Amino acid sequence: MGRKLKNSIELAEIAKTLHLPFVGENIFVDAVAALSDAKAGNLSFAKNADWVKKAPSGVALLCRKDDATSGHSLIFSDNPRLDFARALTYLENQVGFEWSVAAPAVHPSAKIGRNVVLGDGVSIGQGSVVAHNVVIGPEVMIGDFCTIKSGAVIGEEGFGFERDSVGRAVRLPHVGSVKIGNNVEVGSLTTVCRGTLGLTTLADGCKIDDHVHIAHNVYIGEDAFVIACAEVSGGVRIGARAWIAPNSALMNQIDIGPDAVVGIGATVLKNVEANSVVVGNPAKPMKNK
């Protein structure tokens, strides 16, 4: 997905602002994106040398000097994610990102409760119901026949920080959004954070209970269940028809396979295979389904 800038800016200007050296062509940067979505003219960052090698031609990267390869426009950084956060903050404040300014598009058959806040560019599909006191952030897409229960918050910034050299927290601005498929339910007082650079996605038919936290960049597959008070950390991928039981916690960047079951109160620290059951703290396989 990524996010376009209101105006393009030279890579050299970004490097100068960050007080960091750069090598390669001084390209004009017109957008920011995760490396997996990046195109020529986009700014991203690389965690390691493999990420640099995978970067498409014309993408500008923040990376460590030791990870550099020829043929790319690079800003050298000892902590690429930290300096990418600093770059995003600079671009947000000094250049600006393009966000939709369109009025929310609500299907005539959808029902909207009292005291609902709809951000610019929101879309809500046929037959969907948004209950009282819901907050929906900019450009959130909600499909057909969905139910968003009272007090849910969808599309706010997630919890993304890096620490600088003296330990102070530096926020990573979130410029993505949320995509909700058809026949999805989101429970009362549940939070669905928008993606950092792309989308947080709730696929068709998934059901999210009350008091659930879904962090940035999460993908929840078709017909999956996430039950009350579960915490789903950033970048987790939950497969189709998986069952995430109450009070469970999922570590960031792990995969939960299709038809897997995560037991009540489980703390999941690594990938869970399809059709398996894990329980406990830390979660361990109990049996095959």
Which residue in 135, 129, 128 sits closest to 152, CA to CA? Answer: 135
Q: Tell me how far apart the alpha carbons of residues 118 and 136 are, in angstroms, rounded to a whole number.
A: 5
CB 265 within 8 A of CB 281: yes
Mind telling me the catalytic residues? Answer: 216
The DSSP-derived string for the chain is --EEEEEEEEHHHHHHHHT--EES--PEEEEE--GGG--TTEEEE-SSHHHHHHPPTT-EEEE-GGG--TTSEEEE-SSHHHHHHHHHHHHHHHT-B----PPPEE-TT-EE-TT-EE-TT-EE-TT-EE-TT-EE-TT-EE-TT-EE-TT-EES-----EEE-TTS-EEE-----EEEE-SS-EE-TT-EEPPPSSSEEEE-TT-EE-TT-EE-TT-EE-TT-EE-TT-EE-TT-EE-TT-EE-TT-EE-TT-EE-TT-EE-TT-EE-S-B-TTEEEETTTTEEEEE-
Q: Tell me how far apart the alpha carbons of residues 119 and 96 are, in angstroms, rounded to a whole number.
A: 18
